[in-house]
Amino acid sequence: MTNKVEICGVNTSKLPVLSREEKNKLFIKIKNGDLQARETFVKGNLRLVLSVIQRFNNRGENVDDLFQVGCIGLIKAIDNFDLSQNVQFSTYAVPMIIGEIRRYLRDNNSIRVSRSLKDIAYKAMHVKERLISKNSKEPTISEIAKELDLPKEDVVFALDAIADPVSLFEPIYHDGGEAIYVMDQVKDTKNVDENWLENIALSEAMKHLDEREKHILNLRFFQSRTQMEVAEEIGISQAQVSRLEKSALKQLRKYV
């Protein structure tokens, strides 16, 4: 994608770059309804869209589609930017462009989220963008929830529900050698080698017990039965169950 010159018919190698002073002058004209200044401002910030869509180059999405969606975010940023806030336009526009692309990816995601959750999440994101524009800082979940008059748990749940899934094969670090992927940072606490080995050893040790001993251990430790319940089921006394259980466990310890 980074080597592509033509995106949506736009020659990316010839895109203009505007200085901060030029942007400010154009923005004043835009606020006065100058459509030519608006077009010049958009073209002068397309490189910003290109830099943002490179963050999503591992999603398998069509680059032209991402570029067009990013341009929508750019135009929204132009419409909502307040020059009096003394914040660079790029600082304000980048989150808007990213947000627009993420919305596009979520809406085209194979994982379906209920409409009510989406509505809460989109409202929360809109409030977040408005508060960032107003206060020039990231709002907390509590502040967003207060604006929406909703419990903060509902906001968290809604935002989590539309979060982009991450591939286990997405690289998270590269030091010039082999890359480290998400899957390298995920730990399986259930199917670890130690557990596999213990299960194999236990299975082999059980072969040295007779069928009644195996049945007693199965009822006691795998089905959580009491000794009295085991005694009633197999028709012997509780004392006999206790003696057989101890004998079977002693046998297992020889082989495990």
Last residue of a domain, one of 109, 124, 153: 109
Q: Considering its fold, how many domains does the chain have in total?
A: 2
Q: Establish if 48 belongs to a structural domain.
A: yes
* Number of other CB atoms surrounding residue 244 within 10 Å: 21
Structural domain including 241 reads 193-255
Q: Establish if 146 belongs to a structural domain.
A: no
Q: Establish if 186 belongs to a structural domain.
A: no
Summarize the confidence of residues 210-234 as an average pLDDT.
87
Last residue of a domain, one of 57, 90, 109: 109
Q: Establish if 205 belongs to a structural domain.
A: yes
Last residue of a domain, one of 51, 79, 109: 109
What CATH number corresponds to the domain at position 244? 1.10.10.10
Q: Establish if 134 belongs to a structural domain.
A: no
| Lowest pLDDT segment from 9-18, 26-35, 150-159 | 9-18
230 exposed, middle or buried (CB, 10 Å; 0-12, 13-18, 19+)? buried
pLDDT in tens, 53-63: 887 776 667 78
Amino acid at 145: A
> Between 217 and 1, whose confidence is greater?
217
What CATH number corresponds to the domain at position 96? 1.20.120.1810
pLDDT at 232 over 80: yes
Write the Ramachandran bin of 99: left for phi over 0, alpha for psi from -120 to 50, otherwise beta: alpha
Q: Establish if 164 belongs to a structural domain.
A: no
pLDDT at site 10: 62
Q: Establish if 132 belongs to a structural domain.
A: no
Q: Which residues contact 179 (CB under 8 A, 6 or more apart)?
A: 171, 173
pLDDT at site 12: 61
Q: Establish if 160 belongs to a structural domain.
A: no
Tokens (6 digits) for 42 = 């958009």
